[in-house]
Amino acid sequence: MKIGVVTVTFNSSSVLDDFFTSIEQQDYPDFNLYIIDNKSVDDTLLKLENWNFKSKVLLKNNNNLGVAAGNNQGIKLAIKDNCKFVLLINNDTVFEEKLISKLVETSNIYGSSIVVPKMNYFSPPNMIWYAGGFYNKKKAFLNFHRGQGEIDNNQYNVDDKVEYAPTCCTLIHKSVFEDIGLMDEKYFVYFDDTDFFYRILKNGKHEVRYRHDIYFLHKIGSLTNSRNKDKNVRYGEFFISQNSKNHVYFLRKQKTLVAYINLIYLWFYLTIRFFISQRFEKKWSVFYLIQTSYFQGFKI
């Protein structure tokens, strides 16, 4: 059974060596790697072209189309090549040689259309980033990662059903795309997976299964500048802008009374959080960015 592994690169040179090693060591015998490059301006393309991996397909975009559009390009290529499953995966990751095998095995055991592994931070590697995901109705249907920030003491070692999975690493049966559609390309980055899995949840046909015993590390924010590098706990401007406006767009798409109420709640939440959270620099420019990004979400 052929698997299509899809990754989107953009100035990814600093993380590619570890990713190459992890891919090369996979013990699953039948997979193609589809690399979608979003107009990298560093030496990413040079590394990709020089990498001697026979099962790679490299698509070079003339512009940075964003993560959702890049993933869609890879998904289409995989399905065209008769791949039964598509594995969406970030390239700022390090993982064990049985990653693909274990994900496929889990799908076979439970009959799940979607399988996602436990993911830990690259540093420190014993801290959980994702151990299953769900939607919080009390926070404007914001998705959250179970166990995030906790030391991994095997407290989530149950392969249970979940609602949400980040496309950092998610195995998806092709039937899901037939029933749900592809990623919404209006999300340049962030909330594309939130939107996708919310549509899956509403559809009710496909099961999302979490698998706990997979070694997988994620170099958080290394490619998207989601946090200021000199102040590790604080959000960067790119993250604030994309996350704020995309949350608004996500709620608008639902077109329900609850969603419209949550839009009002979201404004208060973002505004108040600026004043009380240490994750935001207390600068007028940051406050202004939050406000303008929120209202930009109504124009998407």
* Statement: residue 231 has pLDDT above 90: no
User: For position 300, what pLDDT does the model report?
Assistant: 93
Task: Catalogue the E-assigned strands of 22-152.
Answer: 31-37, 56-60, 85-89, 93-95, 114-117, 119-121, 128-130, 133-136, 142-145
pLDDT in tens, 234-265: 899 999 999 999 999 999 999 989 899 999 99
Question: pTM, whole model, 2 decimals?
Answer: 0.92
User: For position 238, what pLDDT does the model report?
Assistant: 94
pLDDT in tens, 141-200: 889 999 999 999 999 999 999 999 999 999 999 999 999 999 999 999 999 999 999 999
Residue 22 neighbours by CB under 8 Å, 6+ apart: 93, 94, 95, 96, 97, 99
d(CA 114, CA 1): 16
* Domains in the chain: ranges and CATH: 3-218 (3.90.550.60), 237-296 (no CATH)
Residue 222: pLDDT band (50, 70, 90) is: low
pLDDT in tens, 59-72: 999 999 999 999 99
Phi, psi of 192 (to 5 degrees): -65, -40
What is the Cα 157 distance to its own chain's centre? 22
Per the model's pLDDT, the better-predicted residue between 283 and 231 turns out to be 283
User: For position 223, what pLDDT does the model report?
Assistant: 56
User: For position 189, what pLDDT does the model report?
Assistant: 94
pLDDT in tens, 37-83: 999 999 999 999 999 999 999 999 999 999 999 999 999 999 999 99
- Proportion of the chain above pLDDT 70, given as a percent: 96
User: For position 103, what pLDDT does the model report?
Assistant: 98
Mean pLDDT of the chain: 94
User: For position 233, what pLDDT does the model report?
Assistant: 58
User: For position 225, what pLDDT does the model report?
Assistant: 47
User: For position 141, what pLDDT does the model report?
Assistant: 80
- Proportion of the chain above pLDDT 90, given as a percent: 91
Q: Could you give the C-alpha distances from 286 to 99, 140, 221, 222, 240, in angstroms and in order?
A: 40, 22, 19, 21, 8
